[in-house]
Structure formats: structure tokens, C-alpha cells
Amino acid sequence: MSTTPDTDNAVRAFVDDHYAAFLDDLGAWLRIPSVSADPARAGDVRRSAQWLASHLTATGFPEVEIWETPGAPAVFAAWPSGDPDAPTVLVYGHHDVQPAAREDGWRTDPFDPVVEDGRLYARGAADDKGQVLCHTLGVRAHLAATGRTAPAVNLKLLIEGEEESGSPHFPELVRAHADRLACDTVIVSDTGMWSEDTPTVCTGMRGLTDCQIDLYGPDQDIHSGSFGGAVPNPATEAARLAAALHGDDRTVAVPGFYDGIVELTDRERELFAELPFDEADWLRTAHSHGLLGEDGYTTLERIWARPTAEVNGISGGYQGPGGKTIVPSTAQLKLSFRLVAGQDTERVQRSVREWVAASLPAGIRHEITFWGATRPCLTPLDHPALQSLVRAMGRAFDQKIRFTREGGSGPAADLRDVLGAPVLFLGISVPSDGWHAPNEKVELDLLAKGAETAAHLWADLAENGPV
Amino acid sequence: MSTTPDTDNAVRAFVDDHYAAFLDDLGAWLRIPSVSADPARAGDVRRSAQWLASHLTATGFPEVEIWETPGAPAVFAAWPSGDPDAPTVLVYGHHDVQPAAREDGWRTDPFDPVVEDGRLYARGAADDKGQVLCHTLGVRAHLAATGRTAPAVNLKLLIEGEEESGSPHFPELVRAHADRLACDTVIVSDTGMWSEDTPTVCTGMRGLTDCQIDLYGPDQDIHSGSFGGAVPNPATEAARLAAALHGDDRTVAVPGFYDGIVELTDRERELFAELPFDEADWLRTAHSHGLLGEDGYTTLERIWARPTAEVNGISGGYQGPGGKTIVPSTAQLKLSFRLVAGQDTERVQRSVREWVAASLPAGIRHEITFWGATRPCLTPLDHPALQSLVRAMGRAFDQKIRFTREGGSGPAADLRDVLGAPVLFLGISVPSDGWHAPNEKVELDLLAKGAETAAHLWADLAENGPV
């Protein structure tokens, strides 16, 4: 379990030598369109789980299981160290992906991976199949470099299949298998770094809950001249709801939304301010043409440490060419809420339900469906396992490692709460990877450094981590 | 040109004897899906014009012409009286129809007419093909009952092909052909009556202008966790625009919108209040479950005599099953504005343009396209030709005729302004006919009475109307 420069070179050499085969494997997995939000893709999500299980067995994991849920299946694998004093580590990721269709703006088929200029383009390349597969290359590099036949830590993987749908069955799954999942440290590999040049460790993720609100007005579309202006219009009411989500200062205006939140400390705001944030660069990465958000906070504070409300979709009435002078019969809103430490997902859902019910006029019936809930997560900066991760990344990247948070969401808090273990984030994606967007990609260099980091981390945790 | 009971019976007998053939003709016309809003239907709109031209020639009109416009063609026909003192009447209607698709909620194919329980179901049955065709049956009944070989009035018809698209080329068409269209009275047959039991004459129509607003935010859909809350969201901004259309008192909040409007008089409010309005019945006809409109006005005042703003369509972001946590790239609003006397369509369009431009944050680009503009129209209650119409209807319906207005819109004001002639409304549609809605129908009894009314009206106008 040495961490000398020789080991570093051996890890790097192994990763380099096996990288082409690794990319072939990743490509095969990315060809499976495991879109958990689309019921028509349920079979593909299952095929994705089966592919991963086979791959983990081939990697050498002696225990590989597909765990069923009422929704999509998860994959569990374990590789005991053999050393009675070895710490136990659980790696979390997901094998489902966001919806993607060529007509959304993809230059290539989202489910036919293409390598171009050192990047791999495909839905799920960065979020999250690429980052999950780093670990099978990483553990093999760890074994090769240390001459071991089993990892220096008791290594477990839990790769779920419903993360992009809000992980509705994940808490139950973790509770049901808490004994198998027991660990000293959770490693979440579903986050990003600051940039290709500035490697960082993430210390927290936001929570998430999202919903669909269906509004029903007239029983059919009706003539706007004969009836408009005298009856409620569900498209108008959907718009009024969406507009009322935010005040003019762009705070979230749902009553009770901010109750109990943990405010940013001065030290955190200083750490954020130290990062080389360039507004023009950031806007380019965001494909956006202006900044707009909650008054009194910087852009990084807004996306990492403040809760938000977003309209993901709105529809109602005539969508075809030209005009159609109707009062539409129905309208629909899809909303998501990002949450920070101190916000309770169920309390937020209750607040939203009460706000919607109180906002609609007589004559408009509504239904509201929450898709899922993911609690926010924040890791103490001074945890010893975090120091192991920083050292492992430093060796892989040959650079000083800085700190960020992640604006996105994952079910880390469920693992932390049920398993009673601290959560670390090992993520090598960068903002330009285009998560949830057309032309999602992953940087091939960073995938390799992710595998190296994992290889170093198991050795470091075994030497220095909490037992 | 007698108006005795004998003539009344002769008119009725002719209409009854020729009604089956009339329905066959109407059915053939309704089978042509002349949807002017859909560019893919341009050929069908042309076929509809050609069908009507042939039918008018067969009816006996000596002059029948298809008039081209930069959009869809109109049909013009004339039948001179032969009497040098005869007044000239111009009948207006339209041969284009609203979009319709089986999946919108039609029980039968909207373009395959079905007769059931005394009603004819098809797109355009009431709006407006049925009401246009009343005139060819009506003029033949008039000739048969009076023994004439030409009508007692110089009868002209102008049946346009773009009414459902806001009549964008109609004012130009009327100006270009003002000499051919010259008349003493305009008869618009594109409105409705109070109900099957309460025949009414309409004295005004609202104006209309409608538009599409396209909003552009990020160049592609982006991750709501990574970027949401820090950049403007076009779906949110579309919603904020649509919501800001109305104040909390449901007045239209676009600055300048009400400038110069002619307010309702006490006498008009009294006339409206005399009608047998039943809130529950009206809501059933509106397929709606609540009343909502401008504070301080009754339902009839809101739909007939007050200007309104309506969201006809709204869309943006993810519309598929489940959730997708994105900030969408684009969003779209389709809005329509009903206008009353005193409102200038161009001034309203300018107000809307200025309001939209002033309402959007930096980082959201927009385009606004107005589809068309139709001015409001109001006929003096004391005009002698209106008295002729009331008498003609009274004979056809054997009932007292009351007065209404129409909330819908037609290009009557262009005819009035260019031709310098008063506008009357001969409409036999009823609110339950479902204009612009699925399962549009027309009552067969009322179609027959419409034909009778026309037959009586030509005789009465020749005797009593303005020369």
C-alpha cells in the first residue's frame, strides 16, 4: 500500500495501457438508452443494469447483484479486501440517463458515442456512466500497482437506475439493504470539477424535488371571442403560477420555502470568491446571454448554495402554426426546486401543494404530482477522509486541489443518513460537459485521471482513513 | 315584392322543398378542410373557393369571380336586380375554417359531416359555411315566392378565405375592389343569436388582433442544477408576460390598452340585462366551471362590450412524460386581444410590442409576430335597415326579435369604413354550436330560418330600405 512516485507511475501506466479497451466498454454501455423518465425505455434501463453487472463480474468483483425496486433496477457489487482492519468504502453512481433526442439539437445520435478531439460525445458520457466506469479501471490499476489480488479497502458499489427521475425508490432500497451497504465512507461519483485546469473537490450537493401540475379549465377548447374574458383560462393560470414562483427580487415566493435553511458562512463565501470565476466564460458554458438570479448573491452562491425554483416545462392551448383564438381546456407546468441544507423535501412539497391550491381561482381544477425528492448534502471541510481524497486527486492531477460545491443533486444524503457514514465527492466532469443538454460529452483525459484518483484513494484510505 | 302571409308561406314551402338538396350541397363543401391558418391546407382553401364559385353560378348569379389575394382567395358574386331604384346589398361571410383534428376531442371526423338529432356536425357547419349557404337557398326562395327572375335588391356576395387567420389581406382586397363592392347596406352573416328560443339581431362585433411571441434564452436546454437560478429562463419569462397581461382585478394590464375606448351606456347595459341570461346554462355552453373576468362587469358585458386579452397557447421546455430538470432554451406565447369601439388595432399592437420589450430581462431575446387585425364594429340601433332585418327575422321566426352583440370578430369594420355603408348582422348560429371547438354543429331548423330571413329581407329592403 505504498503511495510513492513509483506507485503513481505504475497506476498511470496501467490506465494508459488499458484505456482503449476501457473506451470500447464505455461505448457499449452508452449505446443503451437507459432513460428512466420514459416508461417506454424501462427495458433499456434493465439492459443497462445487466450490462453493468456483467462488466463488474468481468472486472473481478466476487459479489455482483441486480437489486430490484418498484421502478428501475440498481446494481450492487462488493470486493472484500481480505484484511480484517481495512476500512469499507461504498461508491455511488447511477446508470440511468436524461432523455435525449436528435431533434433537441444533437449533432450526432445521442446513443451512438463519437470520439472527437479528445472528447467522447453521448448521452450519459459524463452523467454518469463515464464516471461510474472510472472505478472499474481504477480498481484494476490499484491492484496492478500494488501487486494486490484484492483492493486495500473493502470496496462496494451501488449504481442506481432512477437518479434522473429523482431517485423515488432509492431511500427504501438503501434502508432495505443497509447491512450489505454498511461502510465507513461513501464516495459519490456523480459530480464535477471547476474546470480542466482547476481540479477541485466538491463538498456538497443541493437537494431536489420536482413536480408536474395539471390544470383543467373548460371541458374542451372554447372560442375566445364567445367566452374569453368571462371564464378562467388554464394557460393563464399556469402562467400566473409560474410567474408567482419568484418575486421581483427573484427570491422564491412560495410561502415557507426558505424556512430553516442553513445560510452561507463568510468563510464559504470567501472560498467561493477565491475560484477563478470569469463571467463571460461561465455564460458561454451556460449557453446563456445574461445573468439573473436572487438579489444579494453571486452567481456561484446562487447555483451552489441557494435554493431555487425553475420552470422546466410549460404547455397549454394551441401550439401549431399561425393563431387559434381559443380558451384552452388544459395546461401543464413542470417545476423543479433545488434545495440546500436545512430544507426538508417533504416540507417543501407541502408548501408547494398549499401554495398551488391557494393560488387557483374557482373553475380551475388541478392535480399535482411530485416525481421524487433528493435531500441536500454538505460534507465537513475538516473530515480526514476528505484529506485522503484531496491527496489522491493531487497525485492524479499533479496540482493543488481546491474546493467547490455542486448545484446539481444526487441521493448522497440518503446514504449519509441511513448508513451513518460521511459522504465524499469524487467527480471529474467539467461544466462544459453539457449535463442534461444536447451534445453531452466527457473529456477523455479527465476520465483517465478519475481512474487514477480512485486507484490512489483506496491505498490512501487504507493507510490513513477512518477505520 | 309583397310581404303578406301568403309570401311567408311560399318562402317557407320553397325552403322546405329544397332543404335536402341544400344539405347535400353544404355537406360537399364542409368536406373540404379549408383551414387558412395551416399553410399545408392552402390547396384546400383554394378548392373551397372553387366549390363555392361553381355553386353560386349554379344558383343563378350571373357574375361569379374568384378574387386572388397574397394569401387565400375570396369569392365574389353579383346578381343585379334590373330595377334602377333597387338598393344594393353586400353579403359578407367566409369560406375558411378553424383548425380541427379528431384528437382534439371530436366524436366524428371534423371534415366528414354527420347529421344527428336535427343537427349537422362538422368544422365550419356554423362558422361560417352553413350561414353563407343560407343565402343561396334564401335568394332562390325569394325569387320563387315573388315570381321574380332577379332579386328585388342588387345582391352581391363577398366570401373571404382568411377570416380565421385574422383577415390579413381583407382591407386591401376591399379597397382594391371598392367599385365592384359599392353598396347601400352590408349584411354580415358570421354571427350568432341568443338561443334557439330567443332570436336576436346582433348590433356589434368586437375587433381582434393576435400574435405569437417567441422567447429565446440559453442557446440550448441547460441543466437546472448547474445553471438554474443564475440565468434567465424563457419559460419563466413567457409565464411572467402571460401573467402580467391581467391585473388582480382581471383588467388588461398592458399600458395604454384601454385608451380611447367607448364605454358602455346605461341603455345598452339595460338591454343586455333584459335577456334571459342563466348563469348555469351559460357555463354549460361554455363547457366551463366558473366565472372569472374584469371586475365591475356582468358576464354579457365582459364578452360583448369589454376588450379582453387571452392566452391561446403557451409552450416551452420539456413536455414529455415524467420530469426533466432543465432550463429550456426557448418558449412561445400565442396571445389574442378582443377590441371594442374606440380601440385602434395598430395602437394596441404598438402598446403590446412596447410592453413586451419593456418586460423582458437582459439575456432573453424575443420576436413578436402579429397575425392580423380586425377592427371592432357597432351598428346604430335606430338605423332603418336594421328595422328591415328585424321584420324579416320576425316573419321567419314568428317571434319578437331582441338585441345582442357578438363577442367574436369579423372584418365588418373594413367594409363599413371603405364602402361607407352601415353593417347589419344576420346570424342564426347559437352559442352551443361550438365555434372553434371540437364537435362544431349547426341547428338544421335555424339554417332554414336563416334562408327564410334572407328571402324576406331582400323584399323588405327593396320596399323600405335606404336607396
Asked whether residue A283 is assigned to any structural domain, the reply reads no
Average pLDDT, chain B: 94
- Identity of the highest mean pLDDT range in A15-19, A223-227, A374-378, B320-324: A15-19
pLDDT of A465 reads 66
Report DSSP state, residue B68: P
Which of A75, A76, A23 is CA-nearest to residue A47?
A75
Pair A243, A125 in one domain? no
Residue B287's alpha-carbon distances to A222, A233, A402, B206, B443, in angstroms, are 8, 12, 61, 22, 19
State the virtual CA torsion across A413, A414, A417, A423 in degrees, nearest 10. -50
Cβ contact A290:B232 at 8 Å: yes
Domain final residue pick, A374, A391, A426: A374
Asked whether residue B214 is assigned to any structural domain, the reply reads yes
CATH of the domain at B15: 3.40.630.10
If you search the block for the grid coordinates 375570396, which residue do you land on?
A: B74
Phi, psi of A181 (to 5 degrees): -90, -5
A318 to B334: CB separation less than 8 angstroms, yes or no = yes
CATH of the domain at B355: 3.30.70.360
Pair A218, A178 in one domain? no
Pair A61, A84 in one domain? yes
Helix (H) or strand (E) holding A247: none
pLDDT of B467 reads 45
Pair A313, A402 in one domain? no
User: Which residues 56-115 of chain A have a CB within 8 Å of chain B?
Assistant: 98-99, 104-105
Q: Where are the beta strands (DSSP E) in B106-247?
A: 114-116, 119-121, 154-160, 185-188, 200-205, 207-216, 222-223
Quote the CA–CA distance of B397 and B417 in Å, as a whole number. 31
DSSP B406-458: ESS--THHHHHHHH---EEE---B-GGG-TTSTT-EEEHHHHHHHHHHHHHHH
Asked whether residue B294 is assigned to any structural domain, the reply reads no
Phi, psi of A140 (to 5 degrees): -70, -40
Cell of residue B178, nine digits = 371598392
If you search the block for the grid coordinates 433537441, which residue do you land on?
A: A104
Q: Is B359 on the interface with A (CB under 8 A)?
A: no
Chain B residue numbers with beta carbons less than 8 Å from the beta carbon of A257 are none
Asked whether residue B407 is assigned to any structural domain, the reply reads yes
A105 to B220: CB separation less than 8 angstroms, yes or no = yes
**Percent of chain B residues topping a pLDDT of 70:** 99
Is the pLDDT assigned to residue A1 strictly greater than 70? no
CA nearest to A239 within chain B: B239
Pair A142, A190 in one domain? yes
Asked whether residue A301 is assigned to any structural domain, the reply reads no
B37 to A324: CB separation less than 8 angstroms, yes or no = yes
Grouping H, G, I as helix, E, B as strand and the rest as coil, residue B69 is coil
**Using one digit for the tens of pLDDT, what is the confidence trace for A311-369?**
999 999 999 999 999 999 999 999 999 999 899 999 999 999 999 999 999 999 999 99
This complex has an ipTM of: 0.77
Cell of residue B369, nine digits = 409576430
Pair B370, B381 in one domain? no
- When divided into structural domains, chain A yields a total of 2
Grouping H, G, I as helix, E, B as strand and the rest as coil, residue B92 is strand
Cβ contact A264:A305 at 8 Å: yes
Pair B317, B405 in one domain? no
User: Angle at which helices B42-59 and B19-30 pack, to 10 degrees?
Assistant: 160
Pair B200, B56 in one domain? yes
**Using one digit for the tens of pLDDT, what is the confidence trace for A426-441?**
999 998 899 889 999 9
Domain span at residue A237? Answer: 207-261+307-374
Q: What angle do CA A42, A43, A44 make, to 5 degrees?
A: 90
Domain final residue pick, A348, A374, A400: A374
Pair B428, B353 in one domain? no
Task: Report the half-sphere exposure of B332 (CA within 13 A, side-chain side).
Answer: 17
Domain final residue pick, A341, A374, A407: A374
Quote the CA–CA distance of A216 and A102 in Å, as a whole number. 32
Of A229, A324, A407, the CB nearest to B293: A229
Asked whether residue B425 is assigned to any structural domain, the reply reads yes
Q: How confident is the model at residue B288 (pLDDT cuts 50, 70, 90)?
A: very high
**Using one digit for the tens of pLDDT, what is the confidence trace for A384-410?**
998 899 999 999 999 988 889 989 887
Asked whether residue B286 is assigned to any structural domain, the reply reads no
Of A165, A299, A326, the CB nearest to B312: A326
**Using one digit for the tens of pLDDT, what is the confidence trace for B62-100?**
999 999 999 999 999 999 999 999 999 999 999 999 999
Which of A15, A390, A336, A174 is CA-nearest to residue B327?
A336
**Using one digit for the tens of pLDDT, what is the confidence trace for B388-435?**
999 999 999 999 898 899 898 877 888 888 898 989 999 999 988 998
pLDDT of A467 reads 45
**Using one digit for the tens of pLDDT, what is the confidence trace for B202-237?**
988 899 999 999 999 999 999 999 899 999 999 999
Asked whether residue A454 is assigned to any structural domain, the reply reads yes
Which of B235, B239, B325, B331 is CA-nearest to residue A339?
B325
- Identity of the highest mean pLDDT range in A377-381, B235-239, B377-381, B463-467: B235-239
Pair A356, A401 in one domain? no
Pair A130, A115 in one domain? yes
Pair A219, A362 in one domain? yes
pLDDT of B431 reads 83
- Mean pLDDT calculated for residue range A25-53: 97
Quote the CA–CA distance of A102 and A122 in Å, as a whole number. 11
CA nearest to A207 within chain B: B225
pLDDT of A267 reads 83
